[in-house]
């Protein structure tokens, strides 16, 4: 059974360790030198993190439809490290360094014209920061992110060191006022994002077929989305290698105006649609899903 240590402790420890190192390298030597160092970091994690390596291999076997090789595991970790590295520049408005394509923005714009605010439901897939940065710097969109309180505290501390403005719109989940904070941002026309491929150990879940086997997806983000009564878009900021990213927006639900009786079946349908979209993008960009633990272990 997934517990707190299975992803929050394991993943955030490695995430923050890489992030702190790359902040220093990136700000001191620049992106080109930083990317050279990334190869060493990726090789280290592939060689000396056996648990993460096994989980990566099991996931890639499903996503690639073949047995993964060492080079696949290396590419998986290197993609993860690349998105962390690029976060440093995106947070400092260095959009000139990147080639960013946006797909599906028309549907999102249309939804925002009908009412203020929309929800973005993503995953640990590619870079969420590329969306926040593009929204802040190019499109005039305001983007806030809901995340678990401990993670929000750690990430805010790091973001403050990079660019103090970047931490302003990180909203902690799990507080009494979390829903009110999200509601207020939506009323102000914000896009409010959540990641829905992981929950806490005691979160209620719904099993959905995912990459060939049932997996447990948390209900919490979707119950919050239903109560906030907004259209919901699947969002992915896929890393395509080099300096290229592609942002996808796809509407997968609309909880606007639903009664309490209508919410539960709508939530189930939305989660199944979400799992299908996540699987689709994992197959199209398999090295972008950064879950280095056994996502299916509750069914083993």
Count up the domains in the chain and report the number: 1
At 4 the pLDDT is 44
pLDDT band at 273 (very low <50, low <70, confident <90, very high): very high
DSSP state of 97: G
Between β-strands 244-254 and 231-241, what pairing exists: parallel, antiparallel or unpaired?
antiparallel
* Residue 117 neighbours by CB under 8 Å, 6+ apart: 185, 186, 187, 188, 189, 190, 191, 192, 230
At 277 the pLDDT is 97
Range of the domain at 222: 4-299
DSSP state of 111: H
pLDDT tens digit sequence for 170-189 = 787 777 788 899 999 999 99
At 3 the pLDDT is 46
At 78 the pLDDT is 95
Residue 160 has pLDDT above 90, yes or no: no
Q: Could you give the CA distance from residue 29 to residue 4 in angstroms, rounded to a whole number?
A: 36
pLDDT tens digit sequence for 209-252 = 999 999 999 999 999 999 999 999 999 999 999 999 999 999 99
pLDDT tens digit sequence for 11-49 = 544 555 666 776 777 778 888 888 888 898 899 889 999
Rg (CA), the chain: 18
């Amino acid at each position: 059974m997934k517990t707190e240590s299975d992803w929050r402790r394991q993943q955030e420890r490695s995430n923050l360790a890489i992030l702190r190192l790359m902040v220093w390298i990136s700000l001191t030597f620049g992106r080109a030198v930083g990317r050279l160092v990334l190869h060493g970091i990726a090789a280290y994690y592939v060689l000396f993190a056996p648990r993460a390596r096994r989980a990566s291999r099991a996931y890639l076997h499903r996503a690639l439809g073949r047995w993964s090789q060492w080079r696949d595991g290396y590419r998986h970790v290197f993609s993860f490290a690349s998105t962390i590295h690029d976060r440093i520049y995106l947070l400092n408005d260095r959009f000139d360094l990147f080639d960013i394509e946006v797909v599906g923005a028309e549907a999102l714009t249309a939804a925002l014209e009908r009412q203020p605010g929309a929800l973005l439901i993503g995953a640990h897939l590619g870079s969420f920061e590329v969306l926040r940065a593009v929204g802040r710097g190019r499109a005039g969109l305001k983007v806030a992110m809901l995340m678990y309180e401990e993670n929000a505290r750690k990430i805010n501390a790091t973001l403050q060191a990079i660019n103090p403005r970047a931490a302003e719109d990180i909203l902690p989940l799990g507080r009494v006022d979390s829903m009110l904070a999200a509601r207020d941002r939506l009323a102000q026309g914000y896009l409010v994002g959540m990641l829905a491929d992981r929950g806490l150990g005691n979160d209620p879940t719904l099993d959905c077929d995912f990459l060939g086997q049932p997996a447990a997806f948390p209900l919490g983000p979707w119950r919050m989305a239903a109560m906030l009564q907004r259209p919901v878009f699947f969002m992915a900021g896929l890393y395509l290698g080099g300096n290229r990213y592609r942002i996808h927006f796809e509407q997968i639900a609309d909880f606007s105006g639903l009664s309490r009786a209508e919410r539960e079946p709508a939530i189930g349908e939305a989660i199944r649609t979400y799992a299908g979209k996540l699987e689709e993008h994992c197959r199209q960009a398999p090295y972008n899903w950064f879950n280095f633990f056994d996502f299916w272990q509750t069914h083993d």
